[in-house]
Chain A
């Protein structure tokens, strides 16, 4: 149990006990309570999200900052600065992606991660280089956080030979075997059995590596999710399932798509440990993931983390986003993970304005360099059309 925004389930109980335990432990956070109210208000009523109480919001923001400050106290300054750097890098990188997409330099689908940066950065910061990450098609953030070079990601988005997948995968299929980034997968939920298998192999080979598997809450409705969690607990597989609950599967809100919307509770069906985590707090994400990684490494057990977050942009670049109200988006923008973390670091005296500007400058250089790299990288040779189909 970590404060008001994270709670965990212990599922190692018999069914009857578990239900009682769940009802005791599953005390909803304020944001969860709001979500539940919204659910009760009606299935197709977007107006409900317009009702925002500024005082309540301010209180929540302050409470969260206080919580983050407590966490900051125990942490290494370099690590904190690196977390902030990574989050800002992902943000600026993706803003550049949006720009390049509009200019027609990036093709296909382009799913931006803006608003969700704390999830990838917080979670992946707990890993070793030899641990694995698999994720969905909204993956630029995870790739950057796992150490794939921004240059190679941008070149991949540009469809260039210097891309991390040699220009053959694109935005939805980033891979980098050097840092065990095992892909962007573009069938909703498809990466969940894959990550389970990767973690299975890590155990089979006698290592203590773990696999982190990211997916959106819409993937939770797929059979692949349920089959994987069942296998992972049954076979004691060190896979950490990170549900990034941004509350929309494309244009369909969670409440219109899921009968039981408390994703973390679904873990109990398979006796998998789970936590509900505030995804706007990078340190809360890091803390919860640390516990999950520890469970994976030392006990070879899976964990489900439901990390509540929000994407500020549309589902993809072609999404006008008219299924959400302006007010709802603004409400979450008030809780911007970068804004929150920057404020916390300033108020705790870790950084000042100059330090933030320095980070922004370094980020801008890295992003600009990635664009130059992508622009200068050649197109794939036409003969590459017929390579990499079979391995000798």
Chain B
């Protein structure tokens, strides 16, 4: 197994799937000649040419809709948003067209398309460039939402997303592009959508974390181990469909649940997980479920304020201690 960055893992997934299927093409702002705003698409123009690696003008609604139309006619577009903040302009096409097409056509037109790009905070890019939008997209039946946290997951899940016959929102994290991890060399390595991964086993409490919060939760778990608290860390990896079985089974074992997320708490993914755990595993809970979410404010610019807005190791450690009644 090679040790590569998440950026390289995504790049490999794109290249392999484009080699595998002529119908896969890549489109977005600066994906071709510039080699990607975050260099995820480096070298793809050189290998696949202008027909299949396409620089778009800055027209998110237009190229998102064009992608959905191309998918209706049999192609498998991968549409890059430079960040998911810009996808807000394209939501009409993602939600009103892509998510609904199969249903309202009575099963005639499925939309095999991937919308991918970084989601959540970067470094001091302020309010309009730091949003975590997964709960928006996960809200809608007809869409799948994927959020990898390791290089292997990034590669295996992106390959599955491209092969999937439905619209997939594939959310990366800018702060994590350089994170390294082991990735299997096998070109057929894929990870099925909708299957959670237990990133660390434990018995005293469960932390469910996704994307940027996974490495933070793992650090918190290390910290807690020193305090004799054994923590299980679960990364759902796919937000829709959500693998609640793995989470419920863990809660049945640990009886305590903390959910960490970078996004706002209101109407969020943690709220959903919390509700389902209450419905299905209420009797197993020894303490109320605790959510650790991004601050309920637009992201500030100042470094110190930004740090306060994003959950850190200490908050998660404190939350676990709270649900374990240790303080």
Contact = CB atoms under 8 A, between A and B. Distances in A.
Contacts of A199: 69
A177 B109 contact: yes
B74 A205 contact: yes
Interface stretch (A10-18, A67-75, A185-193, A362-370): A185-193
Interface string B61-98: 11111111111111100000000000000001100110
A183 B59 CA distance: 23
Nearest to B67: A197
Contacts of B104: 165, 168-169, 173, 175, 183
Given A193-B62, A224-B61, A391 B73 contact: no
Nearest to A189: B92
Interface in A131-177: 132, 134, 163-169, 173, 175-177
A114 interface: no
B166 interface: yes
B72 A198 contact: yes
B211 interface: no
A165 B66 contact: no
A60 interface: no
B109 A196 contact: no
Contacts of B61: 193, 223-224, 227
A126 interface: no
A194 to B, nearest CB: 4
A328 B103 CA distance: 40
12 contacts: A134-B69, A164-B106, A173-B104, A177-B105, A183-B101, A190-B97, A198-B73, A200-B69, A224-B61, A227-B62, A389-B141, A391-B102
A194 B72 contact: yes
Task: Select the residue from A163, A197, A388 with max chain B CB neighbours within 10 A.
Answer: A197
A231 B63 contact: yes
B79 to A, nearest CB: 10
A201 interface: yes
B70 A201 contact: yes
Give the interface centre of B69, B74, B75, B102 by most chain A CB atoms within 10 Å: B69
A100 B166 CA distance: 36
A228 B106 contact: no
Interface string B30-71: 000000000000000000000100101101011111111111
B72 A197 contact: yes
A166 B107 contact: yes
- Interface size class on chain B is 35 or more
Nearest to A132: B73
Nearest to A388: B107
Interface in A334-392: 387-392
A305 B305 CA distance: 54
B7 to A, nearest CB: 27
A223 B69 CA distance: 17
Given A202-B73, A230-B57, A231-B59, A193 B109 contact: no
Given A196-B66, A231-B63, A169 B105 contact: yes
Interface in B81-135: 92-93, 96-97, 101-110, 112
A19 interface: no
A197 B79 CA distance: 12
A182 interface: yes
Q: What's the dominant secondary structure at chain A's contact region? A: mixed
A185 B59 contact: no
A228 B62 contact: yes
Interface size class, chain A: 35 or more
Given A197-B72, A230-B57, A387 B65 contact: no
Contacts of A272: none
Contacts of B179: none
A227 B92 CA distance: 14
Nearest to A169: B104
Interface of B: 25, 51, 54, 56-57, 59, 61-75, 92-93, 96-97, 101-110, 112, 141-142, 144, 165-166
Given A198-B69, A201-B75, A205-B74, 4 more contacts: A173-B104, A199-B69, A204-B25, A227-B65
A183 B109 contact: yes
A250 interface: no
Nearest to A239: B69
A139 to B, nearest CB: 13
- Which of A176, A228, A235, A390 has the most chain B CB within a 10 Å cutoff? A390
Contacts of B72: 182, 194, 197-198, 201
A228 B92 CA distance: 14
B74 A166 contact: no
Q: Choose among B63, B64, B71 the residue with the greatest number of A CB atoms under 10 Å from its CB.
A: B63
A197 B166 contact: no
A182 to B, nearest CB: 6
A182 B109 contact: yes
A227 B59 contact: yes
A224 B73 contact: no
A15 to B, nearest CB: 19
B327 to A, nearest CB: 44
B142 A231 contact: no
A223 B65 CA distance: 12
A197 B41 CA distance: 22
B57 A231 contact: yes
A389 B108 contact: no
Nearest to A173: B104
B237 to A, nearest CB: 17
A33 interface: no
B57 A390 contact: no
A195 interface: yes
A204 B75 contact: yes
Given A169-B104, A201-B74, A230 B166 contact: no
A385 to B, nearest CB: 10
Given A193-B62, A196-B65, A392 B109 contact: no
Contacts of A195: 69
Nearest to B74: A201
Contacts of A52: none
Nearest to B167: A390
A327 interface: no
Contact of A168 (B54, B66, B106): B106
Nearest to B56: A231
Contacts of A182: 72-73, 109
